[in-house]
């Protein structure tokens, strides 16, 4: 990515090396910023706005979000963090296939975090039926019945 940023700088005079979002999609964001004067915007923020997320969650008792693996990178602008930031004090439950960096995720403000796949279960088995179905059912029960 650094080499690509240097090429863009030499060809366009624009340094995208430290621009937020420039590395997204393999550098495509930076290329559009450098070559086409595009503005970098947060993808999840744009999607939430287009979906009228703020209106949808009015009066909600909780919000559920998730991803395949939640970790410190989640807090760098991925969907669950975007949802959390726009939750307006509505509790956000994070359900993920795998959880790492739990302290950082908790500190960010997720009200509850549930891991779908047991840590001792290899990914191939965790994603195959019937284990995946059973683990997902267990995770949902854990999320809402505690």
Q: Could you tell me if 28 and 72 lie in one domain?
A: no
How far is 21 from 139, CA to CA, in rounded Å? 32
In the chain, the number of structural domains is 2
Look at residues 138, 46, 47, 44 and name the one whose alpha carbon lies nearest to residue 95: 138
How far is 58 from 43, CA to CA, in rounded Å? 22
| Residues of the chain scoring pLDDT < 50 | none
Q: Could you tell me if 127 and 73 lie in one domain?
A: yes
Question: Quick one: pLDDT at residue 21?
Answer: 76
- Lookup: tokens for 5: 């940023």
How far is 69 from 46, CA to CA, in rounded Å? 22
- Give every strand in the sheet of 63-70, ordered side by side: 63-70, 92-99, 112-115
pLDDT, one tens digit per residue, over 72-109 is 999 988 999 999 999 999 999 999 999 999 999 999 99
Q: Could you tell me if 10 and 70 lie in one domain?
A: no
Helix, coil or strand: residue 98: strand
86: containing domain = 58-145
Question: Quick one: pLDDT at residue 146?
Answer: 67
Q: Could you tell me if 105 and 73 lie in one domain?
A: yes
How far is 110 from 112, CA to CA, in rounded Å? 6
Cis before 130 (ω within 30): yes
Question: Quick one: pLDDT at residue 4?
Answer: 85
For residue 51, is it within any domain?
A: no
């Amino acid at each position: 990515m650094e080499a690509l940023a240097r090429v863009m700088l030499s060809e366009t005079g624009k340094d995208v090396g430290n621009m937020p979002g420039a590395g997204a999609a393999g550098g495509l964001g930076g290329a559009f910023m450098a070559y086409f004067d595009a503005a970098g915007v947060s993808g999840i923020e744009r999607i939430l706005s287009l979906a009228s997320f703020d209106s949808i969650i009015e009066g909600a008792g909780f919000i559920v979000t998730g991803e395949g693996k939640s970790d410190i990178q989640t807090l760098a602008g991925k969907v669950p963090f975007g949802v959390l930031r726009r939750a307006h004090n509505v509790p956000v439950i994070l359900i993920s296939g795998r959880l790492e960096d739990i302290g950082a995720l908790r500190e960010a403000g997720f009200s509850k975090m549930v891991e779908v796949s047991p840590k001792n279960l290899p990914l191939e088995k965790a994603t195959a039926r019937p284990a995946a179905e059973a683990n997902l059912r267990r995770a949902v029960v854990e999320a809402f019945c505690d």
